[in-house]
Structure 1
Amino acid sequence: MSLREIRRRRSFPNSEYPFNTDIVRNFNSLSIESPVTIIAGDNGCGKTTLLEGVAAAAECILISGEPMEREQRFSPAFALADELKLTWSVKTRNGFFFRAADYVTYTRNLALIKEEAKEKVEEIRARDPFSLEVLPYARTYHDLHMLYGDGLDKLSHGESFLQLFQARFRPGGFYILDEPEAPLSPQRQLSLLALIHDFVGDGATFLISTHSPILMAYPGADLYEVKDGQLQSVRYEDMEHVSLTKNFLNEPERYLRYLLES
Structure 2
Amino acid sequence: MEIEDTHYPFNLPLIKNFREFAFENPVTILVGENGTGKSTFLEAVAANCGSILIGGEPIDTDPALAPARELGQRLKLAWSVRTKNGFFFRANDFINYSRKLAEIKAESRKAYLDIKERDPFSLEVLPYARTLHDLRQLYGEGLEVRSHGESFLDLFQARFRPDGLYILDEPEAPLSPIKQLSLISLILEMVKENGQFIIATHSPILMAIPGADIYTLDQGEFIKTDYQEVEHVRLTKDFLDDPQRFLRHL
TM superposition score normalised by structure 2: 0.93
Q: Which among 195, 205, 216 is matched to residue 225 of structure 1?
A: 216
Which residue number in structure 2 is paired with residue 20 of structure 1? 11
Q: Which among 26, 37, 41 is matched to residue 28 of structure 2?
A: 37
Which residue number in structure 1 is paired with residue 110 of structure 2? 119
Higher helix share: 2
Is 1:135 the counterpart of 2:140 in the alignment?
no
- Pairs within 5 Å for 1:43-192: 43-63=34-54, 67-69=58-60, 72-192=63-183
Q: CA RMSD in A?
A: 1.8
Is 1:258 the counterpart of 2:249 in the alignment?
yes
| SS of residue paired to 2:152 | helix
Contact 2:4 2:16 in 1 (8 A): no
Higher strand share: 1
Which residue number in structure 1 is paired with residue 207 of structure 2? 216
| SS of residue paired to 1:208 | strand
Contact 1:64 1:100 in 2 (8 A): no
| SS of residue paired to 2:77 | strand
Q: CA deviation at 1:71?
A: 7.2
- State, as a whole percentage, how many aligned pairs show the same letter: 56
CA distance in structure 2 between the partners assigned to 1:106 and 1:13 by the alignment? 37
| Higher mean C-alpha deviation, range 71-80 or range 215-224 | 71-80
Q: CA deviation at 1:194?
A: 1.1
Q: CA deviation at 1:72?
A: 3.0
Q: CA deviation at 1:30?
A: 1.5
Q: CA deviation at 1:67?
A: 4.3
| Higher mean C-alpha deviation, range 202-211 or range 113-122 | 113-122
1:165-213 per-residue CA deviation (whole Å, 9 max, x = no partner) reads 1100011111011111111111111111111111111110000000011
Q: CA deviation at 1:122?
A: 2.0
* Unmatched runs of 5 consecutive residues or more in structure 2: none
The amino acid of 1:217's aligned partner reads A
Q: CA deviation at 1:68?
A: 1.6
Which residue number in structure 2 is paired with residue 198 of structure 1? 189
Which residue number in structure 2 is paired with residue 248 of structure 1? 239
Which residue number in structure 2 is paired with residue 7 of structure 1? none
Contact 1:64 1:98 in 2 (8 A): no
Q: How many residues align?
A: 250
| SS of residue paired to 2:214 | strand
CA distance in structure 2 between the partners assigned to 1:65 and 1:197 by the alignment? 24
Q: CA deviation at 1:129?
A: 3.7
Q: CA deviation at 1:77?
A: 2.0
Flag the 1:133–1:64 CA change in 2: closer, same or farther, 3 A. closer
CA distance in structure 2 between the partners assigned to 1:115 and 1:27 by the alignment? 47
Which residue number in structure 2 is paired with residue 6 of structure 1? none
Flag the 1:136–1:14 CA change in 2: closer, same or farther, 3 A. farther
1:96-132 per-residue CA deviation (whole Å, 9 max, x = no partner) reads 0110122222211111111111112222333344444
- Pairs within 5 Å for 1:3-14: 10-12=1-3, 14=5
